[in-house]
Structure 1
Amino acid sequence: MMAASTPTAPCNDNGPLAFRPLGIDTWQEHVVYLNRDCAVCRAEGFSAQARVTVRIGQRSLIATVNTVDAVLLSMEEASLSRSACDHLQARAGDAVWISHAPSLESLRDVRSKIFGHRLDRAQLAAVVTDIAAERYSDVHIAAFLAACANGRMSLRETADLTRAMVEAGETLQWATPIVADKHCVGGVPGNRTSPIVVAIAAAAGLLVPKTSSRAITSPAGTADTMAVLTRVALDAREMRRVVERTGAALAWGGALSLSPADDLLIRVERALALDSDAQMVASILSKKIAAGSTHVLIDVPVGPTAKVRSLQDLGRLRAMLEHVGEVFGLHLAIVQSDGRQPVGRGVGPALEARDVLEVLQCAPQAPVDLRTRSIMLAGALLELCGVCREGEGGEEAERILSRGAAWQKFQAICEAQGGLRTPGEAVFRHDILADRSGQVHEIDCRRIARAARLAGAPEHPEAGIEMKVRLGDKVTAGQTLFTLNAQASGELAYATAFAAQHPAVRIDDD
């Protein structure tokens, strides 16, 4: 994270306030808490939601003002959200200086976009630079995301946004002409193929510095699942060491300074449950470009309740990905996969991690669909990178997996990142039963994902859903369709109530 420049003079004429920790968690949003009657508020005209510069010692940041009563803070005290406290390394009694935040000229560009105007490269660069420097509040970021959603970004703007996101952070370079990566656009619960594909590709001799995001609207992202199994918060130096030792890494992109604006955008996207095509393309490709990737396989599940719902949607997304990829000289392969139902049995970090381990270990009970899809995608990546001729990648990927080479490679990656751990299990469980006999005709991916999130995933890694049926299965009344897993009884109750009111599995007559 970037700090604002350090002021050369005291931030206001009223002297500093004394820091008092309150332990308020606002996730990653920086907030400063002031007594509404304090001298700083009166003299500077600060009110709730004002944007201010906060300085402690040589560290500073921009934060949003929240005002409180004297019960919490005296007129000589200030407090900070946990994220701001950590960033400023604040300790009780520290002198806190507060001043007006500098005006943000790039907000004019956001307003312009809201009214339908196109932004040029310099305008998008200004917006992204301010976001990466944490000068925007979540309200500002939400306005920018909404203004860019629903087809409001041209291909040129999407490419310029991608470039701006790359240039706002660091980039990695590797001493090999082919650097492979794989990404799934998401929308299908349990589709945790990336760890398996990376292990197969690395075992085949490819360099795969894989970075992944935490979940945005899903019950788990690849980084959430891998965090169950090993340490994923690697900095650039650590990631390079892991890749040089094992040929691959499975790291959380948020711990790196690669495309740093993306993680701030994702934080607000998560709250809005919003994924726009342009932002998705810029998010995916900026991370790949910054990581030094040259050959990227992109999995696009298509289904009625997936993120990409139709072939028309796929065509639009494919055109955007291919255009931006061409601008940056990336070799892309875009693979359509089945998005009609969850993949594997587990939905949620620990449950998905268990599925991944079973596939890599070639366990008899390993979910067949996850294994088959992982082999297909790994084979396509091997062909894209020239390891195999066209049509032979799947066979080679299956051979690498079956003889244990992928499992050995995965263990080596995890050991290099800090050690391989065993997934935990949830405390509370509840079965959702079929209310009639018949055949499973439809599984709603969005409702499965929502129920898993209400059960506590991904914040509680052990929470989520265990799927017991697949499309086409014949079931009898009273048979378990899926099992909710939770770490808190209240969350289990929320998820159970949602599942009862919004059935995710539709059963029709045989």
Structure 2
Amino acid sequence: MSPEDIARTRLRPRRMGIDSHSEPVAFLRADCHVCRSEGFEAQSRVTITIGDKSVVATLNIVYSDILGKGDVGLSEAAWKRLDIDDGELAVLTHSPSLDSMSHVRSKLYGHRLSREGMNEIVTDVVAGRYGDIQLAALLTACAGNRLDLSEITWLTKAMVDAGHRIDWGRDKIMDKHCLGGLPGNRTTPIVVSIAAACGLTIPKTSSRAITSPAGTADTMETMTRVTLTLDEMRRVVEKENACLVWGGSVSLSPADDILIRVERALDIDSEGQMVASVLSKKAAAGSTHVLIDIPVGPTAKVRGRQAADHLAHLLRKVGEALGMEVRTIQTDGTQPIGVGVGPALEALDVLAVLRNQSGAPADLRERALLVAGELLELGGIAPHGKGSRLAREALLSGRAGEKFIAICEAQGGFREPVLASSSRAIAAPRNGIVTHINNRLVSRLAKLAGAPGAPGAGLRLAVHLGDRIERGAPLFELFADSPGELAYALEFHEAHPDMITVEEESV
């Protein structure tokens, strides 16, 4: 483009104050001279350049006077990435063709992705060249277990190579992960505290919620700071042998952070993407030994034993290709674990277990001890079959609870979780026995109440499978930030009365 052409295409950037879900978006008037001369249309991918800074954005066309003819409106994501100073002008051009999309289209038609194709896709994703439409197409193409072992391995390696990989300078770096799909089940803070108290090094980076009402990072954020720099993370681990932080803040697998954002909107979490997401974060975090908990149940993320066995095989083989020892365990996924569902509610469960309170959820405590025991054995701290005993001693002695508080203090200080201000108890419709709890509907209800966006929102269960209950006794208590949000969630429950099934006892 000649200097004269550039001068004619300069536009005044205007901050529109629009949250576009992290996707950079630009706005032009339909009668703008640049829009007409360049032939821009709605959903065009455009490159916005200001000085030596540029960003690829999705274009929307405006048919009103909210913008001037010489203005380009920018979403919050675009504005922040360009870091615009007063008086700077923007140049808009068509973005180059996205060649890697040919690989995505090929996969959509059932063809196998090559290693080179996967590398090109991930490179473009991390560079911000994919808009949400392209990202949705990629995720759809790879959903439904359409990636084979080689494709998953190539995707995982490409995601690791696109970010930072931490070297802790130690031979054995431990990690654990739960594949989720089970409301509550917030074992990670407990397991990390036990492992660190017993001498293992476990720098835990966690995701925020994808399709659930809370991720470990969301839960931890109700008690301490989780957005740490890499240097801050190192200092915490050097001091306490562990940390509990949000992985997105240290760019360990930036491609995964981008894909997760769109996965959350689509409410999908496919097998291949799940394996790549989990193990790319573990490899990038410098982990050498990883324990993965796979809950199995009819309404869990993994529905049956055969699927769990297949997933375990993929996790072990991809981990091996990345130089990690991955061990898996399959656990009961038939019902929620603990009583809280939502960041602050799950945090209260965690604290009750770590503080050895009399009312602490026994199922959460025992699940955490099982996982911690396996991790202690994997790390060589305990002999085979003796890990759970050592884990229980660390918990009951108070050492694990003290370690947890120390980790929080090292990350910026500890605070007690706070619940949402509006609540409503839901009563049992009849006398009987609790025979079924639908994990997916329970999670959905907690999300409709506001979790995880509202940290104090969610629900607190009063029953588990097999419990006897009388008509009018509480099944659970729902929490939301406002009466309106509470009413919205209650409408969903009324439409799904089989969320928790109470059956009358046969005489």
- TM-score of Structure 1 vs Structure 2, range by shorter chain: over 0.9
Counterparts of 1:464-483 in structure 2 under 5 Å?
Answer: 464-483=458-477
CA contact (8 A) 1:12 1:99 kept: no
Superposition deviation, residue 15 in structure 1: 3.1
**1:506 aligned onto 2:505:** no
For residues 411 and 155 of structure 2, what CA distance do their matches in structure 1 show? 32
For residues 124 and 480 of structure 1, what CA distance do their matches in structure 2 show? 51
Q: Which residue of 2 aligns with 1:4?
A: none
AA partner of residue 204 (structure 1): C
CA contact (8 A) 2:450 2:481 kept: yes
- RMSD, aligned α-carbons: 1.4
For residues 160 and 326 of structure 1, what CA distance do their matches in structure 2 show? 13
For residues 228 and 479 of structure 1, what CA distance do their matches in structure 2 show? 30
Superposition deviation, residue 331 in structure 1: 1.1
CA contact (8 A) 1:18 1:76 kept: yes
Superposition deviation, residue 328 in structure 1: 1.7
Query: Which 5+ residue runs of structure 1 have no aligned equivalent?
Result: 1-6
For residues 390 and 33 of structure 2, what CA distance do their matches in structure 1 show? 71
CA contact (8 A) 1:186 1:307 kept: yes
CA contact (8 A) 1:440 1:475 kept: yes
For residues 175 and 139 of structure 2, what CA distance do their matches in structure 1 show? 26
For residues 451 and 393 of structure 1, what CA distance do their matches in structure 2 show? 36
Q: Deviations along 1:14-66, whole A, 9 cap, x unmatched? A: 23211222211112111011112111110111111100111223221111001
**1:342 aligned onto 2:359:** no
The partner residue of 1:25 within 10, 19, 22 is 19
Q: Which residue of 2 aligns with 1:54?
A: 48
**1:104 aligned onto 2:98:** yes
Please identify, of 152-161 and 233-242, the stretch whose mean Cα deviation from structure 2 is larger. Answer: 233-242
AA partner of residue 258 (structure 2): L
The partner residue of 1:296 within 290, 299, 309 is 290
Q: Deviations along 1:352-400, whole A, 9 cap, x unmatched? A: 1111111111111111111111111000000011110011000000100
AA partner of residue 408 (structure 1): E
Please identify, of 68-77 and 285-294, the stretch whose mean Cα deviation from structure 2 is larger. Answer: 68-77
SS of corresponding position for 1:250: strand
The partner residue of 1:437 within 431, 434, 449 is 431
Distance 1:8-1:257 versus aligned 2 partners, 3 A rule: farther
For residues 13 and 134 of structure 1, what CA distance do their matches in structure 2 show? 26
AA partner of residue 266 (structure 2): L
AA partner of residue 300 (structure 2): A
For residues 203 and 8 of structure 1, what CA distance do their matches in structure 2 show? 65
Superposition deviation, residue 249 in structure 1: 0.9
CA contact (8 A) 1:192 1:356 kept: yes
TM-score of the superposed pair, with normalisation by structure 2: 0.97
CA contact (8 A) 1:20 1:92 kept: no
SS of corresponding position for 1:401: helix
Q: Which residue of 2 aligns with 1:218?
A: 212
For residues 24 and 10 of structure 1, what CA distance do their matches in structure 2 show? 32
Distance 1:9-1:122 versus aligned 2 partners, 3 A rule: farther
**1:40 aligned onto 2:34:** yes
The count of residues paired between Structure 1 and Structure 2 equals: 504
SS of corresponding position for 1:20: strand
For residues 508 and 11 of structure 1, what CA distance do their matches in structure 2 show? 75
Please identify, of 106-115 and 320-329, the stretch whose mean Cα deviation from structure 2 is larger. Answer: 320-329
Q: Which residue of 1 aligns with 2:452?
A: 458
AA partner of residue 466 (structure 2): G
CA contact (8 A) 1:19 1:91 kept: no
Q: Which residue of 1 aligns with 2:318?
A: 324
Superposition deviation, residue 93 in structure 1: 5.1
Superposition deviation, residue 94 in structure 1: 3.6
Q: Which residue of 1 aligns with 2:359?
A: 365
SS of corresponding position for 1:172: coil
Superposition deviation, residue 412 in structure 1: 1.3
Counterparts of 1:92-491 in structure 2 under 5 Å?
Answer: 94-491=88-485
Q: Which residue of 2 aligns with 1:83?
A: 77
**1:67 aligned onto 2:61:** yes
Please identify, of 13-22 and 256-265, the stretch whose mean Cα deviation from structure 2 is larger. Answer: 13-22
CA contact (8 A) 1:10 1:97 kept: no
For residues 58 and 309 of structure 1, what CA distance do their matches in structure 2 show? 51
For residues 263 and 30 of structure 1, what CA distance do their matches in structure 2 show? 15
Please identify, of 212-221 and 427-436, the stretch whose mean Cα deviation from structure 2 is larger. Answer: 427-436
AA partner of residue 130 (structure 2): Y
AA partner of residue 431 (structure 1): A
Q: Deviations along 1:403-454, whole A, 9 cap, x unmatched? A: 1111111111111111111111211101111111110000000000000000
For residues 261 and 460 of structure 2, what CA distance do their matches in structure 1 show? 27
Please identify, of 98-107 and 181-190, the stretch whose mean Cα deviation from structure 2 is larger. Answer: 98-107
Distance 1:92-1:67 versus aligned 2 partners, 3 A rule: farther
CA contact (8 A) 2:430 2:504 kept: no
Distance 1:8-1:372 versus aligned 2 partners, 3 A rule: farther
SS of corresponding position for 2:222: helix
CA contact (8 A) 1:19 1:78 kept: yes
Q: In percent, how many aligned pairs have the same letter? A: 53
AA partner of residue 406 (structure 1): A
Distance 1:9-1:208 versus aligned 2 partners, 3 A rule: farther
CA contact (8 A) 2:345 2:460 kept: yes
For residues 232 and 2 of structure 2, what CA distance do their matches in structure 1 show? 35
Distance 1:61-1:9 versus aligned 2 partners, 3 A rule: farther
CA contact (8 A) 1:219 1:457 kept: yes
CA contact (8 A) 2:9 2:92 kept: no
Superposition deviation, residue 11 in structure 1: 8.4
For residues 8 and 383 of structure 1, what CA distance do their matches in structure 2 show? 67
Query: Which 5+ residue runs of structure 2 have no aligned equivalent?
Result: none
CA contact (8 A) 2:448 2:488 kept: yes
For residues 378 and 155 of structure 2, what CA distance do their matches in structure 1 show? 26
CA contact (8 A) 1:11 1:97 kept: no
Q: Where in structure 1 do 4 or more consecutive aligned residues deviate above 6 Å?
A: 7-11
TM-score of the superposed pair, with normalisation by structure 1: 0.97
Please identify, of 287-296 and 10-19, the stretch whose mean Cα deviation from structure 2 is larger. Answer: 10-19
Superposition deviation, residue 97 in structure 1: 1.7
CA contact (8 A) 2:42 2:61 kept: yes
